[in-house]
Structure 1
Amino acid sequence: MTTPPFPAPTAAELAVVSAQLGRPVRGVVGIAARCACGNPTVVSTTPRLPDGTPFPTFYYLTHPAATAAMSTLEATQVMPELAALLETDDDVAVGYLAAHRAYLADRAQFGEVAEIDGISAGGMPTRVKCLHALAGHALAAGPGVNPIGDLALARASWSPEVCRCDTPGAALRDETDPSA
């Protein structure tokens, strides 16, 4: 399980995340989960971006194969199925509320932002709105913390245990070593 505080990300890790996203990273404070090869899979971000924008998504899924897998689940109507569990399975609903609270507590370690007070991500604690956010939280916090994120990961065509990176281990290379 990985929870804050995280070690500061290296320049190499930020470069990998920027390549994964296809844009420069913003407000990254740590690598919250990694691929089997060591590359970032989930980053944690400040609750207020450097430009002042409130940003509730503390755990942000960045790995292209993981994001594609969550998009596929969303496109195949898995979200309504998982949302129905909140109405029919008390254990899932209670676990999801606890996940929401844990998410807020993790983010609060990096500051409070009035505009997003009480707002976590992915629809928690009452809806299933974004599997990307829920899977990111599940990967960062570990199994058993976010039941909906865990279920989404179990259904996904991607696993953090199998590297599907374009450049495996790129974040682990020493950028000052020309042979790396």
Structure 2
Amino acid sequence: MSSAQTPTAADLDTLSLQLGRPVRDVVAISARCVCGNPLVAATAPRLSNGIPFPTTFYLTHPVVTAAVSRIEADGEMNRMNDRLAADPELAAAHRRAHEAYLAARAEIGARAGTGPVPEIDGISAGGMPERVKCLHVLVGHALAAGPGSNPLGDETLQLIAPWWTAERCSCAGAWDIAAEVPSRDLSRHVRRQNQGYSVLNRDSEPGRDGA
């Protein structure tokens, strides 16, 4: 994470266009397309509205997120969970990815100045350390931290190769670069702001409604 880049104003605008909503509390750009556009945004563990946010590495690029969604729809998470239950070595690697995720979140939190976030203490994302519940999270971590950091994220990157690889740019037409940058945030985190909040359910897919 030490090599992650502080986002520029242009990065933030691009992220908002990629997501279709205003981006918020981005601390760093953790992975970029070969052309320089953001792929993964590192988000503070506590949002500026006070809500804890466990999805540190948020996958933003529409082509990558769509490709990962295809793999999820094909049932790959169930197959990975079966393998985790049967393969102690894979399960141990998955737990190490969980521990690395927590360590990276602590570093991002320190950069953001958020301080401790006890609501998500020990909770990573994506179903780690025991299951797989969101491949977007695992891919975001794999892209941010590099090969070997999240083995199942690495596997998913191989599976999406027919639609996206890190070696080629897939940005053309992926979002409307001429569109007005979104200014109104309708995500569920904002909707819940005045309703009280408890930490995101670990069984949900936090990464798709955050950053």
| TM-score using structure 2 length | 0.76
Identical-pair percentage: 57
Task: Report the equivalent of 2:130.
Answer: 126
**What is the distance in 1 between the residues matched to 2:24 and 2:2?**
18
CA contact (8 A) 2:142 2:154 kept: yes
Structure 1 residue 160: Cα displacement: 2.0
String of CA shifts for 1:84-130, please: whole Å, max 9, x gaps.
12112222111110110010011012142111111111100001000
Aligned length: 167
1:96-175 aligned at under 5 Å gives the runs 96-109=94-107, 110=109, 111-156=115-160, 157-166=163-172
Gaps of 5+ in 1: 169-180
String of CA shifts for 1:114-164, please: whole Å, max 9, x gaps.
111111111000010000000000010111110111111111132122111
Task: Report the equivalent of 1:56.
Answer: 54
**What is the distance in 1 between the residues matched to 2:88 and 2:49?**
41
CA contact (8 A) 2:5 2:30 kept: no
Query: Any idea what SS the aligned residue of 2:69 has?
Result: helix
Query: Quick one: which amino acid aligns to residue 28 of structure 2?
Result: G
CA contact (8 A) 1:143 1:150 kept: yes
**What is the distance in 2 between the residues matched to 1:82 and 1:95?**
13
| TM-score using structure 1 length | 0.88
Gaps of 5+ in 2: 110-114, 175-211
CA contact (8 A) 1:4 1:106 kept: no
1:52-91 aligned at under 5 Å gives the runs 52-91=50-89
**What is the distance in 2 between the residues matched to 1:161 and 1:112?**
37
CA contact (8 A) 1:16 1:39 kept: yes
Task: Report the equivalent of 1:45.
Answer: 43
CA-based RMSD of the aligned residues comes to: 1.6
